[in-house]
A and B are shown apart, each in its own frame.
Chain A
Amino acid sequence: DAGVIQSPRHEVTEMGQEVTLRCKPISGHNSLFWYRQTMMRGLELLIYFNNNVPIDDSGMPEDRFSAKMPNASFSTLKIQPSEPRDSAVYFCASSRTGGGRGYEQYFGPGTRLTVT
């Protein structure tokens, strides 16, 4: 079974440009997460979707960041306009949730974003 798929793997863009990161979760998983990893702040949860609905977006840094999940098999994270401080590795993860317990999350390979 395929794991979490992310694209692109690497993205280099100039400040002010729009960036769109894509994620396909594992089939059958009903929860999707976007994380950001930097040396300074470690792994941070940006947003959590359950059954395609955003449940917790408290980690989204500011209005320049937006995320959508139009269906169970696809999600996007958009940054507009991008800034150099957005440079990081962005991970998508998926899991199944329910029954009042936390299940393990499976991570994609990540998108390394560099904003110059």
Chain B
Amino acid sequence: GDSVTQMEGPVTLSEEAFLTINCTYTATGYPSLFWYVQYPGEGLQLLLKATKADDKGSNKGFEATYRKETTSFHLEKGSVQVSDSAVYFCALIGGSNYKLTFGKGTLLTVNP
């Protein structure tokens, strides 16, 4: 079945540091890939998405590229802010066309 593996946290960075959160997946066919963010006490918000190989999703300074050859969708940001502190989830929709499969989440803390 479909699965998502993302780097274990927590990740602690200083403001303006470079961020990478690794995500790899297993799925049949051509899944759609997503990053969601969950701020403390809130629901999940869609951060970015990519629906086919080599697509780059981007939003709020975050980027991720759909790499089919390495089955990866790593999240990056060049300069993090304190307000980026949250839990980040990598996810995919595979052959079912509806079921979101999530990674376990990575807690990011950015210190001033």
Does B bind A?
A: yes
* B31 pairs with A109, CB closer than 8 A: no
B32 and A106 contact, CB distance less than 8 A: no
- Asked whether B64 is an interface residue with its Cβ less than 8 Å from the other chain, the reply is no
Interface bracket on B: 20 to 34
CB-CB under 8 A from A105, the residues of chain B are 46, 100
A residues contacting the other copy or chain, number (CB 8 A): 25
Q: Is the CB of A102 within 8 A of B97?
A: yes
* Known A109-B43, A110-B43: A104·B99 in contact at CB below 8 Å: no
Shortest Cβ distance from A9 into B: residue = B41
Is the CB of B69 closer than 8 A to any CB of chain A?
no
> Are the C-beta atoms of B98 and A48 separated by less than 8 Å?
yes
Which residues from chain A sit less than 8 Å from chain B, CB to CB? 4, 31, 33, 42-43, 45, 48, 50, 55-56, 91, 93, 95, 97, 100-110
